[in-house]
A and B are shown apart, each in its own frame.
Chain A
Amino acid sequence: MLLIFKKIGIIVLTLGINLYIVSLLNNKIIARTELRRGFRGHKRGGTGFPFSSSLKYISKDYRFSIWDIIIFVFSLSMWAFLPISYNISLIESDFNLIAVIVIYVLIIILRIFSVSCSNYGFIISDSLKRINQILSLMLPMFFCILSVAVLNSTLSFRTIINSQYRLWNIAYQPVGFIVFFISIVLQIKLLNLFDLNQFTFEDNILKEGEGISKLVHRFSGYMIIFFTIILFNTLYLGGWEKLYMIRGDIMVAIKFYVVLVLMMIFERSISGINNETKIINLSYKILLPLSVFNLLLTIIFYILRNVYSLV
């Protein structure tokens, strides 16, 4: 029991520290890509900005809805299934991958419903339209995950990472790697998670107002970013496998921040794709066929290896 509490403590602490660093880095890097100074206005390089920002939200309004509680619980519960490091995993199961994907999809759907509630009253057609848009981007991602699961013949994260001890999955699945990366960046762009204060889309998926509700919304946004990066790292970049003398934990941190910065810059670079129609077209015309092709190739490889023992 104590061990579980210790692990929960470590997970919450790790998430808290990374939340602070990422929220600082997010605003700094986005400002620097636009040749702005970022947080120079605040004392000590703006290091206290994430705290002051969160306090501002709490002090404005203390009311929150049932959606917020559910979103908050789901945002934290996904870390019980998705291991950040080899010794920080709460629930060990052979079906972790499915559980994590279900929670991820649920968080996004709940976020969209929550926004619809706050912005326009409860308009179900609008929410369903948004969910349809985001699911169309998730389809290529699911096919890529399925390809990795077929390649490693498992749905357990631990087995997927352990099977990459010699060669990372990026070497076996380069197409899947690219499609997965573009898919998660486009999802983040569609949900507008990096650029939380600006309205880049005509009608975007952000919660109005300020208060605890908005804070939970932002928190869940960062959790989605963390989730996608850790999942990406686990599936393709070897997870917590150590590299030469560098420990697994440090490797996870290095890969996490490298992928994060690349995602931020890449998200800013696709400024031409600035509306939902273009994103969905890209998904259906390029990403989905590529991911299906990748899955078929992987299945053929799997059959040749396991049924005919040819590879």
Chain B
Amino acid sequence: MLRVIKNFFINLGNIFRKPKTVLYPREKILINEGSRGLPRLKLNLDTLDIICNGCKDCEKACPQKCIAVKRTYEDNEAVLDEFYINLGLCSFCGNCVEVCKYKAIELSYRYQMAEHDIESLEIEKMDLIKQAEYSIRDFWTKP
């Protein structure tokens, strides 16, 4: 009986509270800090080179085996050749970010990743670099 009375007042109060839902896609919510979206490859801001050298630590740490990395050597220095992520398999666990010694990869705030065909879910190196604009929380307010 007490529970019913309590529920009654909660429901009555809810009528006067601000609704939690938004009218997607016309309105969007501000994504919580630390939310895990599409991974992105970071650049060295001085030289504009990719920080990642293709050490494959992320590939080994990935529980879903959705990361594929290839490295080459230029002037005896390891550089990243190819970097693929299959978003159809990715669980956005963030292990790749944690194991990276060079802080070369991070998760952006991009959450809209629906595609028409399964091949489009395989993201390559250049696409992962372009995700920089999604690393701010309210990216959708920017033109």
Q: Which A-chain residue is minimally distant from B16 (CB atoms)? A: A32
Interface string of A272-308 (1 = CB under 8 A from B): 1000000000000000000000000000000000000
Q: Which A-chain residue is minimally distant from B7 (CB atoms)? A: A269
Shortest beta-carbon distance from B44 to chain A in Å: 45
Whether the pair A265, B12 counts as a contact (CB closer than 8 A) is yes
Whether the pair A41, B11 counts as a contact (CB closer than 8 A) is no
B112 at the interface (CB under 8 A from A): no
Whether the pair A35, B21 counts as a contact (CB closer than 8 A) is yes
Chain B interface residue count: which class?
A: 10 to 19
In chain B, positions 1-33 with a C-beta closer than 8 Å to chain A are 3-5, 7-8, 10-12, 14-15, 17, 19-23
Give the complex CA separation of A35 and B4 in angstroms.
Answer: 19
In chain A, positions 35-76 with a C-beta closer than 8 Å to chain B are 35-38, 40-41
Q: In the complex, what residues of A have CB within 8 A of residue B3's CB? A: 272
A14 at the interface (CB under 8 A from B): no
In chain B, positions 81-124 with a C-beta closer than 8 Å to chain A are none
Q: In the complex, what residues of A have CB within 8 A of residue B7's CB? A: 268-271
Contact among B5, B8, B19 with A32 in the assembled complex (CB-CB below 8 Å): B19
A34 at the interface (CB under 8 A from B): yes
Q: In the complex, what residues of A have CB within 8 A of residue B21's CB? A: 35-37
Whether the pair B11, A269 counts as a contact (CB closer than 8 A) is yes
Residues A37 and B19 in contact in the complex (CB < 8 Å), given A265-B12, A269-B11:
yes
In chain B, positions 32-77 with a C-beta closer than 8 Å to chain A are none
Interface string of A249-282 (1 = CB under 8 A from B): 0000000000000000110111110000000000
Q: In the complex, what residues of A have CB within 8 A of residue B20's CB? A: 35-36
Residues A34 and B14 in contact in the complex (CB < 8 Å), given A269-B4, A270-B4:
yes
Q: In the complex, what residues of B have CB within 8 A of residue A31's CB? A: 19
Whether the pair B8, A269 counts as a contact (CB closer than 8 A) is yes
Contact among A33, A41, A266, A272 with B14 in the assembled complex (CB-CB below 8 Å): A33
Tally A-B pairs: CB < 8 A: 43
Chain A interface residue count: which class?
A: 10 to 19
Contact among A37, A38, A40, A268 with B11 in the assembled complex (CB-CB below 8 Å): A268
Contact among A29, A40, A272 with B15 in the assembled complex (CB-CB below 8 Å): A29
Give the complex CA separation of A31 and B11 in angstroms.
Answer: 11
Give the complex CA separation of A33 and B13 in angstroms.
Answer: 8
Shortest beta-carbon distance from A264 to chain B in Å: 9
Residues A33 and B19 in contact in the complex (CB < 8 Å), given A269-B4, A270-B4:
no
Contact among B5, B8, B12, B19 with A35 in the assembled complex (CB-CB below 8 Å): B19
Q: In the complex, what residues of B have CB within 8 A of residue A37's CB? A: 19, 21-23
Give the complex CA separation of A266 and B20 in angstroms.
Answer: 22
Give the complex CA separation of A286 and B15 in angstroms.
Answer: 30
Contact among B8, B15, B22 with A266 in the assembled complex (CB-CB below 8 Å): B8
Q: In the complex, what residues of A have CB within 8 A of residue B8's CB? A: 265-266, 269
Q: In the complex, what residues of B have CB within 8 A of residue A29's CB? A: 15
Shortest beta-carbon distance from A168 to chain B in Å: 22
Whether the pair A33, B11 counts as a contact (CB closer than 8 A) is yes
Whether the pair B15, A32 counts as a contact (CB closer than 8 A) is yes
Shortest beta-carbon distance from A107 to chain B in Å: 28
Q: Which A-chain residue is minimally distant from B15 (CB atoms)? A: A32
Give the complex CA separation of A191 and B19 in angstroms.
Answer: 28
Shortest beta-carbon distance from A128 to chain B in Å: 31
Q: In the complex, what residues of B have CB within 8 A of residue A33's CB? A: 11, 14-15
Give the complex CA separation of A265 and B14 in angstroms.
Answer: 10
Give the complex CA separation of A34 and B13 in angstroms.
Answer: 11
Q: In the complex, what residues of B have CB within 8 A of residue A271's CB? A: 7
Residues A32 and B23 in contact in the complex (CB < 8 Å), given A266-B8, A269-B4, A270-B4:
no
Give the complex CA separation of A40 and B21 in angstroms.
Answer: 10
- 22 residue pairs of the A-B complex, CB under 8 angstroms, read A29-B15, A32-B14, A33-B11, A33-B15, A34-B14, A35-B14, A35-B19, A35-B21, A36-B19, A36-B21, A37-B19, A37-B22, A37-B23, A38-B19, A40-B23, A265-B15, A266-B8, A268-B7, A269-B4, A269-B5, A269-B10, A271-B7
